[in-house]
Amino acid sequence: MEASEGRGTRFDGYLDALGESWLEDDPLLQRWVARSAPNESQLAWLGDFGRAAAGRWRENAERVERRENLPRLEASDPYDRRRREVWIPAETRQVLAEVHGSGIWRAGLDERLRYAAVYLLNENGEFGVTCSTACTDGLARALRALGDDTRSREVIRRLEHATPGDFVHGAQFVTEIQGGSDAATNTLRAVPDHDGLYALHGQKWFCSNLTADYWLVTARPEGAPVGSRGIALFCVPRTQGGLPNGYRVIRLKDKLGTRALPTAEIDFEGALGWPVGPLDRGLANMVAIVLSTSRVHNVVAAAAATRRALREALAYAHFREAFGRKLADHPLLRASLEGIAARADRAAAGAFGTVDAFATALARPEDEAGRHWARVLVSVAKAVATRESPGRVYEAMMVFGGNGIEERFCALPRLWRDAAILETWEGPYTLLLMQALGDLVRLGVPGREDAFLHHGLEDFVQPTDVDALASVLADPTSTPNILAWGELAPRLYHCFEEKSLAELR
CATH number of 170-281: 2.40.110.20
393 vs 397: CA distance, rounded Å:
6
pLDDT of residue 74: 81
Residue 1, pLDDT score:
47
* pLDDT score of 12: 87
Contacts of 429 (CB under 8 A, 6+ apart): 383, 384, 386, 387, 423
Q: What is the pLDDT of residues 155-201, one digit of tens each?
A: 999 999 999 999 999 999 999 998 788 888 889 999 999 999 999 99
pLDDT above 90 covers what percent of the chain?
89
The whole-number pLDDT of residue 3 equals 44
**pTM for the predicted model, two decimal places:** 0.95
Write the pLDDT tens digit of every residue in 302-358: 999 999 999 999 999 999 999 999 999 999 999 999 999 999 999 999 999 999 999
Q: pLDDT band for position 2 (50/70/90)?
A: very low
Q: Are 414 and 125 in contact (CB under 8 A)?
A: yes
Rounded CA separation 264/252 (Å): 4
Tell me: the pLDDT tens digits for 107-134? 889 999 999 999 999 999 999 999 999 9
pLDDT number for residue 52 = 98
Alpha-carbon distance of 68 to 85, in angstroms, equals: 17
Show me where the domains of the chain are located: 15-160, 170-281, 284-504
Q: For 284-504, which CATH class?
A: mainly alpha
Please give the pLDDT value at position 15: 87
CA proximity to 297, closest of 170, 176, 151, 211 = 170
Determine the Cα–Cα distance for residues 496 and 320; give it in Å rounded to an integer. Answer: 36
Judge if 170-281 and 284-504 fold alike in CATH terms. Answer: no
The pLDDT value given to residue 79 = 66
Amino acid at 404: G
Q: How many CB atoms lie within 10 A of CB 367?
A: 14
